[in-house]
Amino acid sequence: MRTIDVLDTHIAYVDEGTGGPAVVLLHGNPTSSHIWRNVVPLLSGSARVLAPDLVGMGASGKPDIGYRFADHAEYLDAWIEALGLGELVLVGYDWGGSLALDWAARHPGRARGVAVMETFLRPMTWAEYPAGAVAFFRRLRTPGEGEQMALEENWFIENAVRATNGGIADADMDVYRRPYPTPASRRPLLQWPREIPLDGEPADVAERFEAYGEWMASTPEVPKLLLTASPQGLVSPAMIDWSREHIAGLEVASLGEEVGHHAPEDAPKAIGEAVAGLLERLA
């Protein structure tokens, strides 16, 4: 891992390969750049591939901030600028996908292509949220209960990851566990579920999602790749139908229905091949 000073802290990141537009891989909650470990080698032979740990996560610093969506976007912006990156191909899952789309919408002309999976493509309602997760996420968004689950019990690491991706090795779970030894260190993990715009709240995050929805609809010249996984995940069959209707320049490809929410754990080869195909089309 390399590190670079950004704003009031540091960002840790993987940086492998050369050539072509830089490919930035963005992880979700509660993982880190480690989740891309088997994807990076599939791309770094023909492109420069970078994978940061989001602020407060992985080996990156943990400044005293709110860890809201806007905070993560600000630190991501600062990291990209600190490295002098120009045009990018952005790849993300979960919150990493949302941050990728948000960055692309706010930096017109710099996103050469985007590939996302298991992410938030637009604001959702509770009725649309994966049914098996509703009760847990309502608790996480409830003051007191969420703190008990995410901070005291470390629910995201100890329960949520293997609930959708049961095959993760103990050694890899230890890598995900290591940055969060204390309740205070887990604050970023708790804030993420409170940022999901459900039934319009929080409104500021819903606005950013709507803004990148407008960007996706109005930029047919930017190829967008939606990689689908379990139909019980964030990108449901109904969301795929919505995407085909509302996203310009869209290609949809399946990773397989046995692929869980943390898709890079289950399908690194399929993801690497799909992104490599996108790079070839861009070239």
The pLDDT tens digits of the residues spanning 97-114 come to 999 999 999 999 999 999
Q: Is the pLDDT of residue 117 over 90?
A: yes
Arithmetic mean of pLDDT, 169-175 = 98
Would you state the structure tokens that stand for residue 170, as one six-digit string? 């103990």
Active site residue 153: no
CA distance 193 to 130: 13
CA distance 62 to 56: 4
Active site residue 72: no
Give the mean pLDDT of the chain: 97
Percentage above 70 pLDDT, the chain: 100
- In which band, very low, low, confident or very high, does the pLDDT at 20 lie, cut at 50, 70 and 90? confident
Q: In the block, which residue shows the tokens 């750049």?
A: 33
The active-site residue out of 53, 261, 262, 266 is: 261
Instruction: Please tell me whether the overall predicted TM-score, pTM, comes out greater than 0.95 for this model.
Output: yes
Active site residue 172: no
pLDDT, position 72: 98
Q: Where are the domains of the chain?
A: 2-282
The active-site residue out of 10, 27, 34, 94 is: 94
Q: Which amino acid is at 238?
A: A
Q: In the block, which residue shows the tokens 């070239």?
A: 283
The CATH code belonging to domain 2-282 is 3.40.50.1820
Percentage above 90 pLDDT, the chain: 99
Would you state the structure tokens that stand for residue 114, as one six-digit string? 């985007």
The active-site residue out of 53, 71, 102, 118 is: 118
pLDDT, position 25: 98
